[in-house]
Amino acid sequence: MVGLGNPGPEFEGTRHNVGFEAVTLLAERHGGCLRAEKGLHARTCLVRINDQPVLLAMPTTYVNESGLAVTKLVRRAGLTAETFAHRLIVVHDELDLPPGRVKIKTGGGSAGHNGLKSIDSHLKTNGYLRVRIGIGKPPGRQPGADFVLKRPGATERELLEVAVVAAADAVETVLADGVEAAMNRVNTST
């Protein structure tokens, strides 16, 4: 399970880092400690969720280079193109969902998300599971890149904190009940 975000304290709490927040929460819930691992371009830990081993990861590359880390992580985990759909979960921010909304999606386009574009390019597929955390669209004509790299106001931050918990719950539901059941539960909730 890979959470997308940018490394460094200057990016903590930004909209783009909600994927990191979900991974951090899962590590805390399951007794893991994320540490840099040489050669992986990621901070990782191995935890057990629903009695299954799960490699949690946060790339140490910037979001637009996430594919570098994900490729190495996929190799380490022994995943193939045939097993991506059920074994690789990417948690990321989503401009096309309102702030705080969480949805699960299998495959599909990147919707302009540079982290997903990088992963798709490096893996040569988009056939993996995504947990999308809505951050909403930028107001007015503000560029998306500027919007995702800013910290939200207090009200929106509260929505995102609830969504991070829901995203972590969604990952646990996928592992406990399978993708289809998790999608039915998460995608239909308000």
Within 10 angstroms of residue 56's Cβ, the number of other Cβ atoms is 25
Residue 189 has pLDDT above 80, yes or no: no
Active site (catalytic) residues: 16
| 87 compared with 42, residue with greater pLDDT | 42
* pLDDT at site 190: 56
pTM, full prediction: 0.95
CA distance 119 to 63: 10
Strands 42-49 and 129-134: unpaired
Q: Tens digit of pLDDT for each residue in 32-65?
A: 999 998 888 999 999 999 899 999 999 999 999 9
* pLDDT at site 145: 85
* pLDDT at site 13: 96
CA distance 3 to 21: 8
Residue 110 has pLDDT above 60, yes or no: yes
Percentage with pLDDT > 70 across the chain: 99
Average pLDDT estimate for 171-183: 95
Q: Is 182 exposed, middle or buried (0-12, 13-18, 19+ CB in 10 A)?
A: buried
53 forms beta bridges with 48
Say which residues have a Cβ less than 8 Å from residue 28's Cβ, sequence separation at least 6.
none
Q: pLDDT band at residue 143, thresholds of 50, 70 and 90?
A: confident
Average pLDDT estimate for 81-103: 90
For the domain that residue 38 is a member of, what is the CATH number? 3.40.50.1470
Average pLDDT estimate for 98-111: 94
Q: Could you list the residue range(s) of the whole structural domain that residue 37 is in?
A: 2-188
* pLDDT at site 140: 84
Residue 106 has pLDDT above 90, yes or no: yes
Split into its structural domains, the chain has a count of 1
Torsion angles phi and psi, residue 95, rounded to 5:
-65, -30
Lowest mean pLDDT segment, chosen from 7-11, 82-86, 137-141: 82-86
